[in-house]
């Protein structure tokens, strides 16, 4: 599976790819790449069919390991347009790319 930089991942999302965050809800709420769709790795096996097959999927997690596992699983199940974002959310934020959190959206009391 191809690994892309945060900048390349963002470019692909801007061109129509779907950014899929495979961390757990609490991690996602702390900070996530803007426009990322949450689908926790723990739910992937039962929910992967929710992901489109007609768009490229850019997989992301905290540092790149879980998203690589998720991407491999998807490829084994017939998804052929899957890439892993190297360095994950940590690299995305370090690159200065847009992030969000539950607190910034006003979702936390």
Active site residues: 61
Q: Is the Cα torsion angle 45, 31, 63, 86 positive or negative in sign?
A: positive
**CB distance 28 to 38 below 8 Å:** yes
Residue 97 is given by DSSP the state: -
Strands 32-33 and 2-4: unpaired
């Amino acid at each position: 599976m191809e690994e892309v930089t945060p900048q390349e991942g963002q470019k692909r999302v801007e061109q129509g790819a779907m950014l899929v965050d495979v961390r757990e809800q609490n991690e996602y709420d702390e900070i996530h790449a803007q426009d990322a769709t949450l689908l926790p790795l723990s739910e992937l096996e039962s929910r992967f069919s929710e992901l489109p097959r007609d768009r490229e999927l850019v997989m992301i997690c905290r540092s790149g390991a879980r998203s690589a596992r998720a991407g491999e699983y998807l490829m084994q199940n017939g998804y052929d347009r899957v890439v892993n974002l190297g360095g994950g959310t940590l690299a995305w934020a370090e690159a200065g790319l847009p992030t969000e959190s539950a607190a910034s959206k006003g979702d936390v009391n």
